[in-house]
Amino acid sequence: MQKTLIINDLHATVGTTEILKGLTLTIPPGEIHAVMGPNGSGKSTLANCLMGHPNYTVTSGSVTYGDEDILSKRPDERAKAGLFLAFQYPHEIPGVRVQDFLRTATMAVSEKRISLADFADRMDDCLQLLKMDRSYLTRYLNEGFSGGEKKRMETMQMLMMRPSLAIMDETDSGLDIDALRIVSEGVNSLRGENFSALVITHYQRILSYLNPDKVHILYRGRIVKSGGKELAEELERKGYEMLKSDNEWAG
């Protein structure tokens, strides 16, 4: 089912500090949108609000996905509605083996029962695409993993769960060139009319692999400018200092 994400005039706080100050953004089905902005602009706050993190309070505005009010749902209900969050800093979970976690998580969000054989085949395909050895399946989730391995594992979770909307919070952070390319190939393998993504990043380099449909600049809690890939390239050349000197964007 094709769904559009519509964020309208979203305000959110962390503690007593307002971070999002009227953010509006629409992501149609089948599109990848990138959100860029300096530290403290609200990028991770946006990701956490969309997934229902309890430390972030939405004070006004709305978020709908398809015909559903996302803000009224628990985090697990949002996942079942098709949302997936790739963390900036994936957590280690000692004692939980990768294959057990993947099966539990995949079954929890799947609308149809997946046979053991089909599940195993899907895991093998993901391992091959992400160039990961089968030994990862018996390790504890992210325990002892390098930064790049954790990000590949996040991508594998996404490939297994097959969300219709992926929210990627600085997935490119800490990745070397090879890992960045492999993770991007994993994301691109999901592209289609029933998949969309919100890619939060500081850098243009991942966008050269993902080729986003639109790029948005988040500054002081609002989307202040939108455009194509050329907008990310302009930021790469000029840096975020240009936001402070542009009267149109300063707000």
Average pLDDT, the chain: 92
Is the residue at 38 inside a domain?
Answer: yes
The closest of 163, 172, 164 to 210, measured between CA atoms, is 172
Say if CB 28 and CB 196 are below 8 A apart.
yes
The pLDDT value recorded for residue 202 is 86
User: What pLDDT score was predicted for residue 113?
Assistant: 83
**How is the chain split among helix, strand and coil, in percent rounded to 5?**
40, 30, 30
Please report whether residue 110 resides in a domain.
Answer: no
The answer to the question of residue 244 being in a domain is yes
**pLDDT recorded at residue 251:** 47
Is 80 a residue whose pLDDT tops 60?
yes
Segment 23-73, tens digit of pLDDT: 999 999 999 999 999 889 999 999 999 999 999 999 999 999 998 999 999
More confident residue, 130 or 244: 130
Find the angle CA(185)-CA(186)-CA(187) to the nearest 5 degrees.
90
Residue 122 lies in a domain: no
- Supply the pLDDT for residue 51: 96
pLDDT at 46: 97
Cβ atoms within 10 Å, residue 142: 20
Decide if 132 is inside a domain.
Answer: no
Number of structural domains, the chain? Answer: 1
pLDDT per position as a tens digit, 217-246: 999 999 999 999 899 888 888 887 777 665
How confident is the model over 153-195, as pLDDT tens digits?
A: 999 999 999 999 999 999 888 888 999 999 999 999 999 999 9
Contact 18, 29 (CB under 8 A): no
With a CB cutoff of 8 Å and minimum separation 6, the contacts of 165 are 3, 5, 27, 65, 82, 83, 84, 195, 196, 197, 198
Partners of 97 in the β-ladder: 140
Is 232 a domain residue? yes
Kindly state whether residue 103 falls inside one of the protein's structural domains.
Answer: no
Tell me, what's the pLDDT at 245?
A: 60
User: What's this model's pTM, rounded to 2 decimal places?
Assistant: 0.92
Residue 93: the pLDDT is 94
Which CATH number is 41's domain given? 3.40.50.300
What is the arithmetic mean of pLDDT over 201-224? Answer: 93
Confidence of residue 114 (pLDDT cuts 50, 70, 90): confident
Structural domain boundaries, residue 217: 5-91+142-250
Residue 39 belongs to some domain of the structure: yes
